[in-house]
Amino acid sequence: MNAPTKIETTLKDWETDQEVRWCPGCGDYAILKAVQRTLPQLGCDPANTVFVSGIGCSSRFPYYIESYGFHTIHGRAPAVATGVKLANPDLDVWLVTGDGDGLSIGGNHMMHVLRRNVNMQIMLFNNEIYGLTKGQYSPTSRIGTSSPSTPAGSIDSPANPCAFALGAGARFVARGFDVSKNLPDVLKAAHAHQGAAFIEIFQNCIVYNKDVFNDFAAPKGADDRQLWLEHGEPMLFAGGAKGLAIDMETLDLKVVDVVDGDWEAAGVLRHNVTNRTIAHMLVELTFGPFPMPLGVIYDDPAPVFEQAVTAENRRLSEGKEPNLAALLAKGQTWTVEA
Ligand SMILES: Cc1ncc(C[n+]2csc(CCOP(=O)(O)OP(=O)(O)O)c2C)c(N)n1
Ligand code: SF4
Ligand SMILES: [Mg+2]
């Protein structure tokens, strides 16, 4: 996050004149609207905002936001976004990527933007497929996913984006999904966080991986299958009839029944966004026996990269006159004879 001044805008101010080229019914539309609705609420200034993406359907995003933007090359949005942030730390930078862009070709770059803690919001649209290139399986595709590149069903063990982010050292990890009414709140929390804020957004690719998130995202039965986390609040779901507690024998999470609303008696945990150990447990939960943890899973700020770089540059250049010619001629030069 960074926004030296807040200004008033409306959703319309963030819309472009570009024709939106996603398939009808694609979850990307809902995410776009959620972002366009949230930016005015945050007081963001289009002149101070930059959206940086890689390649993929999701990465078309910058075309549709009336701000500055870069549609870069496959997997390299983190490198370009880091450059943008270092060149002008006052800019409010949003990175948009897909499960393929961010975790296949760009997995390496994603790791470093997180570990360096460059101050930006990172939205990874996870549709568990390569949408743009016509539906090949991706690093997040489930075992058995049938696709042009896995006609007999995928046998790869899928990557877990939030576990990856935590493992890479991310200080903010959250989850949402395309049509969720809570997505703007997740985006606001990410924006308020100083540092790399990683958000996995489950997104329905209606053409190549239709409704794979319906098990928890469909409105019917959502209450039993979604666990919306809130700092300081008990981890309750199923209308408060169930919750998550620690199993003292296995030291893992377990689902407990809550009788008469007495969640404390049932041992239900109170969510603490700064608890990294519990965050690891939450992102690793198997959906089915457990609900899907959503919202802000982890939020514990640490010093940000660009401030350290700026401070070091200042320290090293203090009292010195810049002299490019001297720098270029300073040793380690040689002449190549023909
Ligand atoms: C260097 C390079 N390799 C491969 C491609 C082909 N390619 C374009 S997008 C893409 C995958 C996109 O998947 P994802 O990031 O999940 O985005 P989605 O389309 O699903 O939103 C691939 C493999 C490319 N454009 N450049
Ligand atoms: S291919 Fe899938 S992800 Fe891409 S625009 Fe179409 S529905 Fe959306
Ligand atoms: Mg994808």
User: How high is the pLDDT of residue 338?
Assistant: 83
Q: Whose CA is nearest to atom 1 of ligand 1?
A: 74
Phi, psi of 89 (to 5 degrees): -60, -15
Distance CA 118, CA 303 (A): 9
* Cα(122) to centroid(ligand 3), Å: 15
Distance CA 217, CA 223 (A): 10
Protein residues with CB under 6 Å of any ligand 1 atom:
55-58, 74, 98-101, 105, 125, 127, 129-133, 138
Distance CA 255, CA 268 (A): 9
**334 Cβ contact partners less than 8 Å away, ≥ 6 residues apart:** none
DSSP 177-227: ETT-TTHHHHHHHHHHSSSEEEEEEE---TTTSTTTTHHHHSSTTHHHHEE
All domains in the chain, ordered by first residue: 11-212 (3.40.50.970)
Question: Which three-class secondary structure state does DSSP give residue 147?
Answer: strand
Q: Whose CA is nearest to atom 6 of ligand 2?
A: 23
User: How high is the pLDDT of residue 184?
Assistant: 98
The conformational region for residue 271 under phi > 0 = left, psi -120 to 50 = alpha, else beta, is beta
Distance CA 43, CA 271 (A): 28
Atom of ligand 1 nearest to the CA of 127: 20
Question: CB of 78 within 8 A of CB of 112?
Answer: yes
Distance CA 270, CA 249 (A): 20
Atom of ligand 2 nearest to the CA of 25: 7
Sheet holding 92-98, edge to edge: 68-71, 49-53, 92-98, 120-126, 196-202, 172-177, 292-299, 226-229
Burial (CB count <10 Å: 0-12, 13-18, 19+), residue 280:
middle
* Cα(31) to centroid(ligand 2), Å: 13
Residue in 64, 140, 207, 213 to alter for ligand 2 test, most ligand atoms within 8 A of Cβ = 207
**Pair of tokens at residue 130:** 């390569």
Closest CA to 120 of 76, 89, 162, 75: 89
**Pair of tokens at residue 125:** 């649209």
User: How high is the pLDDT of residue 3?
Assistant: 66
Give, rounded to a whole angstrom, the gap between the first and last alpha carbons of the chain: 53
Atom of ligand 1 nearest to the CA of 99: 16
Q: Is the pTM of this model over 0.85?
A: yes
| Residues, beta carbon < 5 Å, ion ligand 3 | 98-99, 127
The whole-number mean pLDDT for each consecutive block of 10 residues of the chain, a chain of 338 residues, reads: 82 97 98 98 97 98 98 98 97 98 98 98 98 98 95 97 98 98 98 98 98 96 96 98 97 97 98 98 97 98 96 92 86 82
**Pair of tokens at residue 236:** 């309750």
Burial (CB count <10 Å: 0-12, 13-18, 19+), residue 188:
middle
Distance CA 276, CA 171 (A): 9
